[in-house]
């Protein structure tokens, strides 16, 4: 597993703010993402799960490795969608054709372009060489499937239900990690492809500063261009969270505040946002 330790669905980023006294103040920014179609929604869910899986496998406790298996089964559930693999392959091929169109452009570094196209080729070949759906070979492991059938039942993996699994949890952390790494490797081509496609998508957008007047913001989207992802940067010190909705014509954002009554209330303050539309 060599996925970069960065996930973008919800994460903290560091930014700098120049104060009136000319000093540099470090601020935290929460980056939210909103997909405009079901395909990108699935990609983001998979990225989220792959990040969680990577972190859990690297740990040592049997409990962490139990939840690593739980996450592995969640990825298999998402990957079981019939058209997921074909969608990813189509997107990899589409991105390659788009990038090939930039060849000869003096503003484009050919070496960087060649590197990205090579990555696309590697991901395409690795994923297309796998038979069936992503992770299908894992379904042939009867021991794993016996755990999968009970892991969704509350308390269903107790030692009296799955003694062989209980024994596995008492192996050394290195032994469990070796097993997990071997099973997860069956999903590596999908993980690498998803990561590359989302990186290219995110890099396609340019951030813009906007103001949510009275805690609300709306923007009409230009016709003739299809956006797939919205990225919203919001200072964590504001203690606000966004409710985002959108379609091919417009995007709407409403900022909410968590009240003392444990309910969300609409903010009435004018708030600065950084918005990025990616196509």
Instruction: Look at residue 133 in the predicted model and tell me its pLDDT.
Output: 84
Superfamily of domain 40-199: YacF-like (1.10.3900.10)
Among 180, 196, 72, 92, which residue's Cα sits nearest to residue 134?
72
Element (H, E) at 252: strand 250-258
Instruction: Look at residue 23 in the predicted model and tell me its pLDDT.
Output: 39
Residue 194: CB atoms within 10 A of its CB come to 26
**Identical fold, 10-35+205-278 and 40-199:** no
Instruction: Look at residue 18 in the predicted model and tell me its pLDDT.
Output: 38
Query: What is the Cα–Cα distance from 181 to 1, expressed in whole angstroms?
Result: 7
Query: What is the Cα–Cα distance from 7 to 48, expressed in whole angstroms?
Result: 7
Instruction: Look at residue 248 in the predicted model and tell me its pLDDT.
Output: 83
Contacts of 109 (CB under 8 A, 6+ apart): none
pTM for the full predicted model: 0.88
| Domain parsing of the chain, residue ranges | 10-35+205-278, 40-199
Q: Residue 258, CB half-sphere, CA atoms under 13 Å: how many? A: 6
The tens digit of pLDDT for each residue in 248-266 reads 889 999 999 998 999 999 9
List beta partners, residue 241: 256
Among 4, 12, 20, 50, which residue's Cα sits nearest to residue 185?
50
- Decide: 253 and 241 in contact? Cβ < 8 Å: no
Instruction: Look at residue 228 in the predicted model and tell me its pLDDT.
Output: 95
| Residue ranges in the chain whose pLDDT is less than 50 | 2-25
Instruction: Look at residue 108 in the predicted model and tell me its pLDDT.
Output: 85
Fold of 10-35+205-278: YacF-like (2.60.440)
Instruction: Look at residue 104 in the predicted model and tell me its pLDDT.
Output: 84
């Amino acid at each position: 597993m060599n996925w970069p330790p960065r996930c973008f669905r919800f994460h903290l980023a560091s930014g700098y703010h120049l104060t009136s006294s000319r000093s540099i103040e470090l601020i935290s920014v929460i980056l939210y993402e909103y997909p405009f179609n079901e395909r990108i929604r699935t990609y983001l869910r998979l990225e989220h799960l792959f990040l969680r899986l990577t972190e859990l496998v690297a740990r040592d406790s049997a409990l962490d490795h139990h939840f690593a298996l739980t996450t592995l089964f969640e990825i298999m559930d998402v990957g079981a969608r019939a058209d997921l693999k074909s969608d990813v392959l189509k997107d990899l091929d589409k991105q390659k054709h788009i990038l090939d169109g930039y060849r000869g452009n003096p503003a484009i570094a050919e070496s960087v372009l060649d590197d990205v196209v090579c990555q696309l080729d590697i991901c395409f070949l690795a994923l297309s060489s796998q038979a069936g759906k992503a992770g299908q070979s894992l379904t042939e492991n009867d021991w794993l499937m016996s755990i999968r059938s009970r892991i969704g039942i509350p308390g269903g993996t107790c030692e009296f239900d799955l003694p062989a699994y209980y024994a596995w949890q008492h192996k050394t952390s290195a032994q469990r990690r070796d097993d997990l790494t071997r099973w997860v490797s069956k999903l590596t081509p999908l993980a690498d492809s998803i990561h590359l496609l989302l990186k290219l998508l995110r890099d396609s957008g340019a951030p813009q500063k906007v103001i949510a007047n009275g805690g609300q913001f709306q923007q009409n989207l230009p016709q003739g261009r299809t956006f797939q992802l919205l990225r919203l940067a919001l200072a964590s010190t504001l203690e606000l969270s966004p409710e985002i909705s959108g379609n091919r014509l417009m995007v709407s954002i409403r900022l909410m505040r968590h009240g003392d009554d444990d309910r969300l209330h609409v903010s009435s303050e004018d708030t600065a946002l950084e918005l990025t539309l990616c196509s």
